Amino acid sequence: MPIYEYRCPKCSTEFEELVFGAETPPCPRCGGKNAERLLSCACLHTPAPSRVGQTMTYPSSGGGGCSGCTASSCAGCK
């Protein structure tokens, strides 16, 4: 069950929703029923080692978004 990002054409609100099948969720702000599904971006974090030969460590899977990201959605990774 994927989480999709949507934009309401009526009030321009962007929101995320867990979607079952092909249903389109109503806008949480105005109740509009014609939300457009947005192309989601992936948040990728690849840390650079601080010294040559040093073992790379990757961020933990904390935060609200992607691994090591503190944004609540990928919209915050702009």
53-73: burial string, b at 16+ Cβ within 10 Å, e else: eeeeeeeeeeeeebeebeeeb
> pLDDT tens, 3-23?
899 999 999 999 999 988 888
The count of domains in the chain is 1
CATH number at residue 35: 2.20.28
Whole domain around residue 23: which residue ranges? 1-42+60-78
> pLDDT tens, 43-60?
666 666 555 555 555 555
- Residue 48 in any domain: the answer is no
Indicate the pTM of the whole model. 0.51
Written as one string, the DSSP assignment of the chain is --EEEEE-TTT--EEEEE--TT--PPPTTT--S-PEEP-PPP----PPPSSTTPPP----S-SSSSTT--SSSGGGG-
